[in-house]
Amino acid sequence: MAGNEGSMFGTLDILMLSGMAGVALYWFVFRKKKEEEVASFKPLKVAPAMDRSESFDPSFISKMKKMGRNVVVFYGSQTGTAEEFAGRLAKDASRYGMKGMVADPEEYSMEDLTKLPDIENALAIFCMATYGEGDPTDNSQEFYDWLQEGSEDLTGLKFAVFGLGNKTYEHYNAMGKYVDKRLEELGAERIYEQGLGDDDANIEEDFITWKDKFWPAVCENFGITSIGEDISMRQYSLQTHDDIPSEKLFTGEPARLGSTRTQKPPFEAKNPFLASITVNRELHKKGDRSCMHIEFDITGSRIRYDAGDHIAVYPTNNSELVDRFGQRLNADLGQVFSLNNVDEDASKRHPFPCPTTYRTALLHYLDITSCPRTNVLKELSDYTEDAKDKAFLASMAQATPEGKELYTDWIINHHRTLLHVLEDLPSVNPPIDHVCELLPRLQARYYSISSSPKINATTVAITAVLIEYTTKTGRHQQGVATSWLKLKRPTDDLQPKVPVFVRKSQFRLPFKPSIPVIMIGPGTGLAPFRGFIQDRQCQRKDGKPVGETVLFFGCRHEDEDFIYEDELKAFLEDGTLTQLHTAFSRDQPEKIYVQHLLRQQKDEVWRLLELGGHIYVCGDARHMAHDVDEVLHDIVIEHGNMTREKASDYLKKMRSRGRYSCDVWS
C-alpha cells in the first residue's frame, strides 16, 4: 500500500496521459495531414491572359508615372457600357494635352488614390454603374467596401463622376451618387458636377451632354486649352496570322484558351460551364408569341444555387447576320487576326480574346445587334466617300441639340445597328478590323432561376420569352439569346451545350419557413417564384411549419399565356400555395393587372404584413413594379392610419430588413 501511495503515476493518470498523447498524435500527424491536403488544393484562377500584360502592376500610380499619364478613368461596369465610356474619356484627354488611362478598380490598389496628387495636373474620373437594387457592380464591390470602411485623407485629389443607372429602379444611380459624395467627404475636390446617365431614356445623349461641359471645366481648373480637333486614333493595331495552329486559336472562350475543351472548376464569368440543355419546351398554349421553359444540366460542375439566384448564359450571334457583315465589308471571315493595344504598357492587351478569326469574333465576342454610339458614327465618317453621307454621320456625332435629335431619331427610334448603318449608307466602307475594334463586347444574358435545388440540385431551369419585333425600317429583329436558345432543342441523340454560370442574389425566401410571403410576378416574373414555391413544398414535406404562401400572377389570356398553370393549380390543391390571384388583362373589356388584384386584397395584404410577412416583386420595373409600390403605399396609409411620408418610411424599413424585395428589369 505504502509503495502504491508513493508511485508517481496511478492507473487513472496513465489512462489520462495516454488519451492526451493520442489527441496530440492526432493533432500533429493526422490533422496536419488533412490541413496539408486542404492547402494543396488550389482553385483554378482564370486570369484573362489575352487581356492582361505579363508584367502587370497593381499600383496604378507607378503605372501612370511610368507611362507619363495624368488622367486615370476608373469604371464600375456590369454590361460593358461604363467601361466603354471610360475608354472614350481617356481617349478625349489627348485633345487637351493630357494623357489618360483606363483602370478596373478590381485590378488595382485603390489606396493609391492618396498618392495621385503627387502627379502634376492629375485627375481621377469615375464611370460608375449601379447594379440591381442600388448595388455596386461586381468589379467595383471591393472599391465600394474600401470607401465605406476607409478613412483615408484624399485632400488634393481632383475628381469627377459620371453615373450610369436607370430611372425605373428605385435606387437610381445609387453607386455613382455614393462615390461622388464619399470622395468629397474624404477631402477630394470635385472639379465638375456629377453626371447621371439614364439607360431607360438615352444614356448616350446624357453622356455626351455631360462630357461636352466637363472638359471645359477641366481646362479652366488646370489652366489648359484644347490643342486641336477631335482626331480619330486607333487604340488597337491589326496583326494577321497565317500559320497559327488551331489549338492556339480562341474559338469563343470568354477568357482562358481551351476552357471549353478542358473544363475545370470553379466556374464563373471568365470560366463558364458547358451545361447540357435537357428540356426546351413551349409554355404558351397558342398565339404568335413564344415563352420557353429550358432546363440546364449542371452535373459535375460543383455549381451551387438557391431559389432566387440568376443564371447567366453566353449567347452566340445569328450566323446570317455575321455573313451579311462579311459580305458588306468584303472581308474574309476565316482570316486569323489579332488586335493589339498600341500602348504596350496597357493592362488590356486585346479588346477580346486573340488570336481568333473574324467569324468567331462576330459570332461570340462582339455585340452586332445594338445601336452604335455617337463616337462610332464619328469614326465611320472617316471612311465615307460620299460628302453628304460623311456630313450626315458627323452631324449625329455632334453634341448639339440638332445632332442629338437626329441621332435619337435615325439611330435609336429606328433601332439601326451598325450593320444597318452600313447597309443604308453604301459609301461607308471601313475595314473589318476597325469595325471589330468599334463594336462593344457581347455580354452574358441573365435569367432568374425558375427551379429549386431542393427538387434537383443538378438542374437549373429558366423561363424566357422570345424577343422579336419589327423596326420602323421594316427590319425583323430578334433577341440575341432567346432566338439562339429557341433553336437549342435536345433530342434522344443530342443535348446542346451552352456556356453558363450562376450569380448569387439577395432575392431570398425568409430564413424561417413559418413567415408568410406575398409574391407578385406577372408573365415571366413568375420565374423565381416557381423556385420559391418548390422550396416551400419541400419544407412542408419535411414536416417544417410553413407560413402562408400567396401568389399574384398576371398574363394576357388565360387560355393562351397562363404559364405553369397546371403546376400552380396543383400547388394550390396540395396546400403549398395558400392563395392564387390571377389577372388576365385582355380577357375582358377593361384591362386588369396584378396591381388591381393587390388593391382588391388590401385587407389580406395588411394582415400578412402585420404578421411579419415578406413581399416579393418580380417583372417589369417601368410600370408594374412602380404601380405595385403605389398600391402598397395606399394600403399602408389606409390600414396603418399613416401619412404618405410615414408610409414611405414603413416600406423603406421593410426593404432595409429584407422584407420587401424586388427583382425587376426594364
Separation CA 630–CA 609 (nearest Å): 16
Separation CA 196–CA 215 (nearest Å): 16
Residue 194 DSSP class: P
Q: Write down the pTM of the prediction.
A: 0.88
pLDDT at res. 4: 36
Pick from 311, 237, 308, 653: nearest CA to 503: 311
Stretches where the chain sits below pLDDT 50 are 1-18, 20-21, 23-54
Contact 272, 255 (CB under 8 A): no
DSSP string, 455-469: T-TTEEEEEEEPPEE
Contact 289, 469 (CB under 8 A): no
Q: Helices 565-573 and 527-541: crossing angle, nearest 10°? A: 30
- The angle formed by the CA atoms of residues 599, 588 and 585, to the nearest 5 degrees, is 55
Give the pairing of strands 356-357 and 468-470: unpaired
Catalytic sites, residue numbers: 448, 618, 663, 665
Buried b (16+ CB within 10 A) or exposed e, 410-442: bbeebbbbbbbbbeebeebebebbbbbbbbbeb
Contact 454, 286 (CB under 8 A): no
Grid-cell match 440540385, residue found: 457
Separation CA 632–CA 653 (nearest Å): 13
Binding site for FMN, by residue number, is 77-82, 129-132, 164-173, 199
Pick from 268, 275, 315: nearest CA to 441: 315
Separation CA 203–CA 85 (nearest Å): 11
Q: Across 516-630, where does the E strand assignment appear?
A: 517-520, 549-555, 579-584, 614-620
Binding site for FAD, by residue number, is 445-448, 463-465, 469, 479-482, 665
pLDDT at res. 14: 40
Paired strand residues for 159: 124, 190
Grid-cell match 496511478, residue found: 10
Nine cell digits for residue 417: 445597328
Average pLDDT of the chain is 91
For residue 344, CA distances in Å to 234, 237, 347, 348 come to 14, 11, 8, 9
pLDDT at res. 276: 98
Pure H helices in 202-308: 203-222
Q: Is 197 helix (H, G, I), strand (E, B) or coil?
A: strand
Paired strand residues for 585: none
Residue 428 DSSP class: B
Q: Is 435 helix (H, G, I), strand (E, B) or coil?
A: helix
Contact 472, 413 (CB under 8 A): yes
Separation CA 363–CA 353 (nearest Å): 13
Binding site for NADP(+), by residue number, is 289, 524, 585-586, 591-595, 627
Contacts of 312 (CB under 8 A, 6+ apart): 269, 272, 444, 445, 446, 447, 500, 501, 502, 503
pLDDT in tens, 439-469: 999 999 999 999 999 999 999 999 999 999 9
Sequence letter at residue 160: A
Contact 139, 102 (CB under 8 A): no
Nine cell digits for residue 21: 498523447
Residue 224 DSSP class: -
Pick from 1, 168, 195, 184: nearest CA to 82: 195
Residue 440 DSSP class: P
Preceding amide of 355 cis, omega within 30: yes
Q: Is 329 helix (H, G, I), strand (E, B) or coil?
A: coil
Q: Is 335 helix (H, G, I), strand (E, B) or coil?
A: coil
Q: Is 510 helix (H, G, I), strand (E, B) or coil?
A: coil
pLDDT at res. 475: 95
Longest distance between any two alpha carbons in the chain, whole Å: 120
Q: Is 111 helix (H, G, I), strand (E, B) or coil?
A: helix
Contact 158, 189 (CB under 8 A): yes
**SS3 labels along 307-323:** CCCEEEECCCCCHHHHH
Binding site, by residue number, is 77-82, 129-132, 164-173, 199, 289, 445-448, 463-465, 469, 479-482, 524, 585-586, 591-595, 627, 665
Give the pairing of strands 660-665 and 614-620: parallel
Q: Is 609 helix (H, G, I), strand (E, B) or coil?
A: helix
For residue 554, CA distances in Å to 316, 625, 664 come to 32, 13, 15
For the chain, how far is it from start to end, CA to CA, in angstroms? 91
Grid-cell match 493520442, residue found: 22
Domains along the sequence of the chain with CATH: 60-222 (3.40.50.360), 262-315+444-505 (2.40.30.10), 316-441 (1.20.990.10), 517-664 (3.40.50.80)
Contacts of 55 (CB under 8 A, 6+ apart): none
Q: Is 519 helix (H, G, I), strand (E, B) or coil?
A: strand
